[in-house]
Amino acid sequence: MKFKFWGVRGSIPTPGAKTVKFGGNTTCIEVTTGSNDLLILDAGTGIFALAQTLMNKIPIVAHILITHTHWDHIQGLPFFLPFLSANNQVHIYGGMDPVTQMGIERALNVQLQYSYFPISEAQLKAKVHYHTLKPGETIDIGSAKITPTVLTHPVINFGYRIEDSDGRSLFFTGDYEEPTNLYSPDDPNHSATQQFIDTKKQEVCAAIHGVDALIVDSSYTDSEYAKRIGWGHGTFEAAMQLANDAQVKKLFLTHHEPTRSDDELEAIFQNLLNEQAEKTTFEVYLAKEGEEHLLS
């Protein structure tokens, strides 16, 4: 199994001289299984460049796994060029929104309304299939088994564990903020809330445990996070702790903060490595647009 980053920025695309090295597109990861199945994790603006590489492989069957429907994870979906060619099949997977009670089909339906996009859904030539997933229920896609886990974010958000028949595995969190107990220790709600948080953390750690690659939201430093609690994103330090607890082999830090330049990102990363050197039992990387990794 191998995977390639096509978008690694969070919140909004950030093209420009200061983001050339790591890339300015929003989240999109291409995963190719051992039997050559095409899986795509999220459909941020990075999916447009990926789509162009697929046009000479038509007809194709693509499986797009959406972690959640915030704009930076779906805004490239209408620009997925294989939609426009007959004989292609595109499968889109995601969760049921508990507020709207609508499935993942809404992510494309809404964007292709005439007020927002020049092409309607009826004009798509490919066969589009929607699959609304349930937490914890494993599905098969080709040679891979995919299991969604609900992760903390201000909307229904799935982390996906992908296990290939070649024995390799990865977990992608999408956007993820570890749950925090907002009650003070003397508040009567503190104990029950903490018990829930501890149980949820154990569930997430078990879902990730032992993967060859963990790709995780690490938008902030600890000091930045203190002013952004509840925004739905994690920190570099929390990502390192999660990787250690889950005993993963490789950690990839992604969803880079949009105001962060390449130089600033590298400086934070180097400082992180220096501080965590004695605790780290796994390889650590900054996710980089265009970079491909083979799990072997």
Q: Give the start-to-end residue ranges of the domains of the chain.
A: 2-294
Strand partners of residue 130 = 92
Q: Which of 241, 233, 242, 236 shows the shortest CA–CA distance to 221?
A: 236
Q: Among 198, 200, 205, which residue's Cα sits nearest to residue 245?
A: 205
Nearest alpha-carbon partner for 249 in 209, 213, 295, 287:
213
Which tens digits make up the pLDDT trace of 213-265?
Answer: 999 999 999 999 999 999 999 999 999 999 999 999 999 999 999 999 999 99
Whether residue 151 has pLDDT greater than 90 = yes
3-state secondary structure of 256: strand
**Distance separating alpha carbons of residues 39 and 97, to the nearest angstrom:** 22
CATH superfamily of 2-294: Ribonuclease Z/Hydroxyacylglutathione hydrolase-like (3.60.15.10)
Confidence at residue 154, expressed as pLDDT on a 0 to 100 scale: 87
% of the chain exceeding 90 in pLDDT: 87
Are the beta carbons of 92 and 85 closer than 8 angstroms? no
Please state the rounded mean pLDDT for residues 4-21. Answer: 97
Residue type, 263: D
Please state at what angle helix 236-245 crosses helix 262-276, rounded to 10 degrees: 40
pLDDT in the model for residue 296: 85
Structure tokens at 204: 């997430």
